[in-house]
Amino acid sequence: MLRWRNLAETRLADTFLLFLDPAAWAALTALIVMEVVLGIDNLIFISIVTNKLPESVRAPARRAGIALALGLRLAFLAGIVWLVGLTEPLFDLGIAGPPASHGEPTFETAFSGRDIILLLGGLFLVWKATTEIHHTIDPAPAKTVFSARAAVAGGFAAAIVQIILLDVVFSIDSILTAVGMTNHLPIMVVAVIVAVGVMYFAAGPVAAFIKNNPTIVMLALAFLLMIGMVLIADGFGVHVPKAYIYAAMAFSMAVEFLNMMARKRAIFPEVATAPSSERLS
Protein backbone atom coordinates (compact mmCIF):
# COMPACT_ATOMS: atom_id res chain seq x y z
CA MET A 1 0.00 0.00 0.00
CA LEU A 2 2.83 2.37 0.94
CA ARG A 3 4.57 1.55 -2.33
CA TRP A 4 1.51 2.54 -4.38
CA ARG A 5 1.13 5.73 -2.36
CA ASN A 6 4.76 6.69 -2.98
CA LEU A 7 4.34 5.92 -6.68
CA ALA A 8 1.22 8.11 -6.87
CA GLU A 9 3.00 10.97 -5.10
CA THR A 10 5.96 10.66 -7.48
CA ARG A 11 3.67 10.74 -10.52
CA LEU A 12 1.83 13.77 -9.13
CA ALA A 13 5.11 15.59 -8.53
CA ASP A 14 6.32 14.75 -12.05
CA THR A 15 3.06 16.08 -13.52
CA PHE A 16 3.36 19.30 -11.50
CA LEU A 17 6.95 19.82 -12.68
CA LEU A 18 5.90 19.07 -16.26
CA PHE A 19 3.37 21.92 -16.28
CA LEU A 20 6.02 24.32 -14.97
CA ASP A 21 7.88 23.87 -18.26
CA PRO A 22 6.96 26.53 -20.91
CA ALA A 23 7.58 23.94 -23.64
CA ALA A 24 4.87 21.76 -22.11
CA TRP A 25 2.38 24.65 -22.29
CA ALA A 26 3.31 25.26 -25.92
CA ALA A 27 2.76 21.57 -26.70
CA LEU A 28 -0.53 21.62 -24.78
CA THR A 29 -1.79 24.68 -26.69
CA ALA A 30 -0.88 23.17 -30.07
CA LEU A 31 -2.49 19.85 -29.14
CA ILE A 32 -5.70 21.51 -27.89
CA VAL A 33 -6.03 23.40 -31.18
CA MET A 34 -5.44 20.19 -33.15
CA GLU A 35 -7.92 18.21 -31.03
CA VAL A 36 -10.59 20.91 -31.40
CA VAL A 37 -10.11 20.93 -35.18
CA LEU A 38 -10.29 17.12 -35.31
CA GLY A 39 -13.45 17.30 -33.18
CA ILE A 40 -15.23 19.36 -35.86
CA ASP A 41 -15.82 16.19 -37.93
CA ASN A 42 -17.26 14.43 -34.89
CA LEU A 43 -19.45 17.43 -34.03
CA ILE A 44 -20.87 17.79 -37.57
CA PHE A 45 -21.83 14.11 -37.62
CA ILE A 46 -23.46 14.28 -34.16
CA SER A 47 -25.39 17.41 -35.19
CA ILE A 48 -26.73 15.86 -38.40
CA VAL A 49 -27.75 12.61 -36.70
CA THR A 50 -29.44 14.26 -33.71
CA ASN A 51 -31.27 16.88 -35.81
CA LYS A 52 -33.34 14.04 -37.27
CA LEU A 53 -34.67 13.17 -33.80
CA PRO A 54 -37.72 14.74 -32.13
CA GLU A 55 -37.00 18.06 -30.39
CA SER A 56 -37.45 16.53 -26.93
CA VAL A 57 -34.56 14.06 -27.28
CA ARG A 58 -32.08 16.03 -29.42
CA ALA A 59 -30.20 17.66 -26.55
CA PRO A 60 -29.91 14.41 -24.51
CA ALA A 61 -28.67 12.58 -27.63
CA ARG A 62 -26.05 15.28 -28.29
CA ARG A 63 -24.89 15.17 -24.67
CA ALA A 64 -24.73 11.37 -24.75
CA GLY A 65 -22.72 11.43 -27.99
CA ILE A 66 -20.20 13.92 -26.63
CA ALA A 67 -19.94 12.07 -23.30
CA LEU A 68 -19.23 8.87 -25.23
CA ALA A 69 -16.60 10.71 -27.28
CA LEU A 70 -14.85 11.81 -24.08
CA GLY A 71 -15.15 8.35 -22.49
CA LEU A 72 -13.73 6.60 -25.54
CA ARG A 73 -10.85 9.05 -25.87
CA LEU A 74 -9.90 8.64 -22.20
CA ALA A 75 -10.26 4.85 -22.47
CA PHE A 76 -7.96 4.80 -25.49
CA LEU A 77 -5.48 7.01 -23.63
CA ALA A 78 -5.55 4.53 -20.73
CA GLY A 79 -4.78 1.73 -23.21
CA ILE A 80 -2.26 3.80 -25.14
CA VAL A 81 0.19 0.89 -25.51
CA TRP A 82 -2.53 -1.28 -27.09
CA LEU A 83 -3.68 1.58 -29.31
CA VAL A 84 -0.18 2.29 -30.64
CA GLY A 85 0.08 -1.44 -31.36
CA LEU A 86 -2.82 -1.05 -33.79
CA THR A 87 -0.37 0.53 -36.24
CA GLU A 88 1.52 -2.77 -36.63
CA PRO A 89 0.58 -4.60 -39.89
CA LEU A 90 -1.77 -7.56 -39.43
CA PHE A 91 -1.63 -8.85 -43.00
CA ASP A 92 -0.32 -7.79 -46.42
CA LEU A 93 -1.99 -8.49 -49.77
CA GLY A 94 1.31 -7.75 -51.51
CA ILE A 95 -0.06 -4.95 -53.70
CA ALA A 96 1.57 -1.52 -53.83
CA GLY A 97 1.15 1.50 -56.06
CA PRO A 98 3.88 3.14 -58.12
CA PRO A 99 6.43 5.14 -56.12
CA ALA A 100 5.62 8.79 -55.49
CA SER A 101 8.08 11.70 -55.51
CA HIS A 102 9.15 10.92 -51.92
CA GLY A 103 10.00 7.33 -52.87
CA GLU A 104 7.15 5.67 -50.96
CA PRO A 105 4.38 3.80 -52.84
CA THR A 106 1.26 5.85 -53.63
CA PHE A 107 -0.82 3.21 -51.88
CA GLU A 108 -0.25 -0.12 -50.15
CA THR A 109 -2.25 -3.10 -48.92
CA ALA A 110 -0.39 -3.88 -45.69
CA PHE A 111 -3.30 -3.42 -43.30
CA SER A 112 -2.98 -2.71 -39.58
CA GLY A 113 -5.79 -2.66 -37.02
CA ARG A 114 -5.96 1.12 -37.39
CA ASP A 115 -6.22 0.84 -41.19
CA ILE A 116 -9.14 -1.59 -40.93
CA ILE A 117 -10.97 0.66 -38.46
CA LEU A 118 -10.42 3.68 -40.72
CA LEU A 119 -11.65 1.73 -43.76
CA LEU A 120 -14.81 0.57 -41.99
CA GLY A 121 -15.43 4.03 -40.55
CA GLY A 122 -14.88 5.67 -43.93
CA LEU A 123 -17.27 3.26 -45.66
CA PHE A 124 -19.88 3.92 -42.98
CA LEU A 125 -19.48 7.69 -43.38
CA VAL A 126 -19.76 7.47 -47.18
CA TRP A 127 -22.90 5.32 -46.85
CA LYS A 128 -24.44 7.61 -44.22
CA ALA A 129 -23.66 10.83 -46.12
CA THR A 130 -24.90 9.40 -49.44
CA THR A 131 -28.12 8.17 -47.82
CA GLU A 132 -28.74 11.54 -46.15
CA ILE A 133 -28.01 13.46 -49.38
CA HIS A 134 -30.50 11.25 -51.24
CA HIS A 135 -33.09 11.79 -48.49
CA THR A 136 -32.52 15.56 -48.59
CA ILE A 137 -33.01 15.67 -52.37
CA ASP A 138 -35.93 13.22 -52.42
CA PRO A 139 -37.52 13.06 -48.94
CA ALA A 140 -39.78 10.01 -49.16
CA PRO A 141 -42.39 9.71 -46.40
CA ALA A 142 -41.28 7.43 -43.60
CA LYS A 143 -43.16 4.14 -43.34
CA THR A 144 -43.61 2.81 -39.82
CA VAL A 145 -45.86 0.33 -38.06
CA PHE A 146 -44.74 1.38 -34.59
CA SER A 147 -46.33 3.81 -32.18
CA ALA A 148 -44.98 7.35 -31.91
CA ARG A 149 -43.29 6.55 -28.59
CA ALA A 150 -41.65 3.42 -30.01
CA ALA A 151 -40.50 5.38 -33.06
CA VAL A 152 -38.89 8.01 -30.82
CA ALA A 153 -37.19 5.35 -28.70
CA GLY A 154 -35.99 3.45 -31.78
CA GLY A 155 -34.73 6.63 -33.40
CA PHE A 156 -32.85 7.61 -30.24
CA ALA A 157 -31.24 4.16 -29.94
CA ALA A 158 -30.29 4.11 -33.64
CA ALA A 159 -28.77 7.60 -33.36
CA ILE A 160 -26.71 6.58 -30.32
CA VAL A 161 -25.45 3.43 -32.09
CA GLN A 162 -24.37 5.48 -35.14
CA ILE A 163 -22.69 8.07 -32.90
CA ILE A 164 -20.82 5.32 -31.00
CA LEU A 165 -19.55 3.77 -34.26
CA LEU A 166 -18.13 7.07 -35.51
CA ASP A 167 -16.94 8.11 -32.04
CA VAL A 168 -14.68 5.04 -32.08
CA VAL A 169 -13.18 6.02 -35.45
CA PHE A 170 -12.73 9.71 -34.61
CA SER A 171 -11.41 8.89 -31.12
CA ILE A 172 -8.71 6.56 -32.46
CA ASP A 173 -7.69 9.17 -35.06
CA SER A 174 -7.65 11.85 -32.36
CA ILE A 175 -5.54 9.87 -29.88
CA LEU A 176 -3.04 8.68 -32.48
CA THR A 177 -2.64 12.32 -33.53
CA ALA A 178 -2.00 13.23 -29.89
CA VAL A 179 0.59 10.46 -29.57
CA GLY A 180 2.37 11.85 -32.63
CA MET A 181 2.55 15.35 -31.11
CA THR A 182 3.71 14.64 -27.54
CA ASN A 183 5.04 11.83 -25.36
CA HIS A 184 3.50 13.16 -22.13
CA LEU A 185 0.25 11.45 -21.10
CA PRO A 186 -0.92 14.30 -18.76
CA ILE A 187 -0.74 16.77 -21.68
CA MET A 188 -2.80 14.38 -23.84
CA VAL A 189 -5.44 13.96 -21.12
CA VAL A 190 -5.80 17.72 -20.52
CA ALA A 191 -5.95 18.47 -24.26
CA VAL A 192 -8.63 15.82 -24.86
CA ILE A 193 -10.77 17.01 -21.93
CA VAL A 194 -10.54 20.67 -23.04
CA ALA A 195 -11.31 19.79 -26.68
CA VAL A 196 -14.35 17.68 -25.75
CA GLY A 197 -15.47 20.49 -23.43
CA VAL A 198 -15.39 22.87 -26.40
CA MET A 199 -17.42 20.31 -28.39
CA TYR A 200 -19.97 20.13 -25.55
CA PHE A 201 -20.61 23.88 -25.47
CA ALA A 202 -20.50 24.24 -29.27
CA ALA A 203 -22.84 21.29 -29.99
CA GLY A 204 -26.09 23.18 -29.41
CA PRO A 205 -25.25 26.27 -31.51
CA VAL A 206 -23.76 24.14 -34.32
CA ALA A 207 -26.82 21.85 -34.43
CA ALA A 208 -29.20 24.86 -34.40
CA PHE A 209 -27.24 26.60 -37.16
CA ILE A 210 -27.30 23.47 -39.35
CA LYS A 211 -31.03 22.97 -38.69
CA ASN A 212 -31.95 26.60 -39.50
CA ASN A 213 -29.92 26.73 -42.72
CA PRO A 214 -30.88 23.93 -45.14
CA THR A 215 -28.02 24.68 -47.54
CA ILE A 216 -25.57 24.20 -44.69
CA VAL A 217 -27.00 20.69 -44.19
CA MET A 218 -26.02 19.75 -47.75
CA LEU A 219 -22.58 21.31 -47.28
CA ALA A 220 -22.09 19.43 -44.00
CA LEU A 221 -23.12 16.16 -45.67
CA ALA A 222 -20.62 16.88 -48.45
CA PHE A 223 -17.97 17.38 -45.74
CA LEU A 224 -18.86 14.00 -44.23
CA LEU A 225 -18.64 12.37 -47.67
CA MET A 226 -15.21 13.93 -48.21
CA ILE A 227 -14.03 12.88 -44.74
CA GLY A 228 -15.25 9.33 -45.42
CA MET A 229 -13.25 9.19 -48.65
CA VAL A 230 -10.18 10.55 -46.84
CA LEU A 231 -10.53 7.86 -44.14
CA ILE A 232 -10.76 5.16 -46.83
CA ALA A 233 -7.68 6.57 -48.57
CA ASP A 234 -5.84 6.68 -45.23
CA GLY A 235 -6.75 3.03 -44.67
CA PHE A 236 -4.96 2.21 -47.95
CA GLY A 237 -1.88 4.17 -46.89
CA VAL A 238 -2.67 7.30 -48.93
CA HIS A 239 -2.26 10.08 -46.38
CA VAL A 240 -4.02 13.33 -47.28
CA PRO A 241 -2.63 16.26 -45.22
CA LYS A 242 -5.22 17.49 -42.72
CA ALA A 243 -4.39 21.09 -43.63
CA TYR A 244 -5.68 20.54 -47.17
CA ILE A 245 -8.96 19.08 -45.90
CA TYR A 246 -9.70 21.84 -43.42
CA ALA A 247 -8.61 24.56 -45.85
CA ALA A 248 -11.13 23.21 -48.38
CA MET A 249 -13.83 23.08 -45.68
CA ALA A 250 -13.07 26.65 -44.56
CA PHE A 251 -13.15 27.94 -48.15
CA SER A 252 -16.48 26.19 -48.82
CA MET A 253 -17.96 27.64 -45.64
CA ALA A 254 -16.78 31.14 -46.58
CA VAL A 255 -18.41 30.85 -50.03
CA GLU A 256 -21.63 29.54 -48.46
CA PHE A 257 -21.72 32.46 -46.00
CA LEU A 258 -21.42 34.86 -48.95
CA ASN A 259 -24.30 33.02 -50.65
CA MET A 260 -26.39 33.32 -47.48
CA MET A 261 -25.72 37.07 -47.30
CA ALA A 262 -26.65 37.43 -50.99
CA ARG A 263 -29.91 35.53 -50.45
CA LYS A 264 -30.83 37.71 -47.47
CA ARG A 265 -30.20 40.86 -49.51
CA ALA A 266 -32.39 39.45 -52.30
CA ILE A 267 -35.21 38.69 -49.84
CA PHE A 268 -34.96 42.00 -47.95
CA PRO A 269 -33.58 44.50 -50.50
CA GLU A 270 -35.11 47.49 -48.74
CA VAL A 271 -33.24 46.65 -45.51
CA ALA A 272 -29.95 46.06 -47.30
CA THR A 273 -30.10 49.34 -49.22
CA ALA A 274 -31.52 51.54 -46.44
CA PRO A 275 -29.20 54.17 -44.88
CA SER A 276 -27.59 53.11 -41.63
CA SER A 277 -29.56 55.78 -39.68
CA GLU A 278 -32.87 54.30 -40.90
CA ARG A 279 -31.80 50.74 -40.06
CA LEU A 280 -30.93 51.78 -36.51
CA SER A 281 -34.22 53.61 -35.95
Q: In this predicted model, what pLDDT tens digit does every residue of 193-216 receive, in sequence order? A: 888 888 888 888 878 877 777 777
Predicted TM-score (pTM) of this structure: 0.61
Half-sphere exposure of 212 (CA within 13 A, CB side): 7
Angle between helices 22-50 and 214-235 (to 10 degrees): 120
Mean per-residue pLDDT of the chain: 73
Contact predicate 94/109, CB 8 Å: yes
Mean pLDDT along residues 161-180:
76
Per-residue pLDDT tens over the stretch 93-152: 766 656 665 556 556 677 788 788 778 878 887 887 888 788 777 766 544 433 344 445
Predicted confidence at residue 97, as pLDDT, reads: 59
- Of the pLDDT bands very low, low, confident and very high (cuts 50, 70, 90), residue 25 is confident
Query: How many C-beta atoms lie closer than 10 Å to residue 35's C-beta?
Result: 24
Contact predicate 188/179, CB 8 Å: yes
What is the maximal distance between C-alpha atoms in the chain? Answer: 77
Contact predicate 236/108, CB 8 Å: yes
pLDDT at 66 exceeding the cut of 80:
yes
Mean pLDDT along residues 41-59:
81
Predicted confidence at residue 102, as pLDDT, reads: 59
The torsion defined by the Cα of 82, 88, 90 and 96, in degrees rounded to 10, comes to 150
